[in-house]
């Protein structure tokens, strides 16, 4: 788990490339449109295309940063990447697994559970916060009301 929380090497190389010293100590950005793209936000292969104006504004902002501001920028970029690439997908998977287990246990409890599948899907889409047992009971009640 510790290795998963360490910053990605490619991202750090990218940030390092953003600030190259120029003659006289000024900093130059090598901005190539990666910020906000798949490398930084965990988007599945999507890459944002930046306009020349956006690039210019980003370069000006980056060049004007003090070392402390740049360190905060790198920190925020790293935290966002770790959250989007590692933590959020893990949380989504855990929530889905728990929900699947609740559905499975409810289906074991009620022998006619799967007979109301279509109605349960409709009800769940309208009320996503309900637990599977509530959805089952509502679907069964609705089915009885319809006379099915």
Q: Which three-class secondary structure string do you get for 64-110?
A: CCCHHHHHHHHHHHHHHHHHHHHHHHHHHHHHHHHHHHHHHHHHHHC
pLDDT tens for 70-121 read: 999 999 999 999 999 999 999 999 999 999 999 999 999 999 999 999 999 9
Structure-model confidence comparison of residues 24 and 107, the more confident one: 107
Do 22 and 74 share a structural domain? yes
Do 73 and 38 share a structural domain? yes
Do 114 and 90 share a structural domain? no
Do 89 and 18 share a structural domain? yes
Do 8 and 35 share a structural domain? yes
Do 67 and 132 share a structural domain? no
Do 114 and 73 share a structural domain? no
pLDDT at 46: 64
Measured between alpha carbons, how far is 99 from 88 in angstroms, rounded to an integer?
16
Do 74 and 8 share a structural domain? yes
Tell me the residue range of the domain where 32 lies: 2-94
**Assigned domain for 148 exists:** yes
- 48, burial (CB in 10 Å: exposed 0-12, middle 13-18, buried 19+): middle
pLDDT at 72: 92
Do 88 and 21 share a structural domain? yes
Mean pLDDT of the chain: 76
Do 36 and 62 share a structural domain? yes
- With a pLDDT cut of 90, the percent of the chain lying above it is 50
**Assigned domain for 99 exists:** no
Q: How many domains does the chain have?
A: 2
For residue 45, the tally of other CB atoms under 10 A from its CB is: 6
**Assigned domain for 53 exists:** yes
Structure-model confidence comparison of residues 26 and 61, the more confident one: 61
Q: Which helix (H) or strand (E) holds 20?
A: strand 20-21
Exposure class string for 67-92: b at 16+ Cβ within 10 A, else e: eeeeeebbeebbeebbeebeeeeeee
Do 138 and 73 share a structural domain? no
147 — pLDDT class (breaks 50, 70, 90) = confident
**Assigned domain for 138 exists:** yes
Token pair listed for 7: 């910053």
**Assigned domain for 101 exists:** no
pTM metric for this prediction: 0.51
């Amino acid at each position: 788990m510790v290795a998963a929380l360490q910053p990605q090497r490619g991202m750090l190389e990218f940030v390092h490339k953003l600030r190259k010293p120029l003659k006289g100590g000024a900093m130059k950005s090598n901005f190539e449109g990666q910020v906000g793209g798949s490398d930084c936000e965990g988007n599945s292969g999507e890459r944002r295309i930046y306009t020349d104006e956006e690039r210019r504004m980003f370069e000006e902002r980056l060049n004007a940063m003090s070392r402390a501001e740049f360190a905060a920028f790198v920190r925020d970029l790293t935290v966002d990447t770790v959250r989007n690439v590692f933590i959020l997908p893990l949380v989504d998977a855990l929530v889905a697994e728990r929900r699947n287990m609740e559905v499975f246990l409810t289906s074991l409890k009620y022998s006619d559970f799967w007979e109301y599948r279509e109605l349960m899907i409709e009800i769940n889409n309208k009320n996503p916060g309900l637990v599977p047992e509530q959805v089952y009971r509502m679907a069964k009640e609705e089915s009885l009301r319809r006379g099915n």
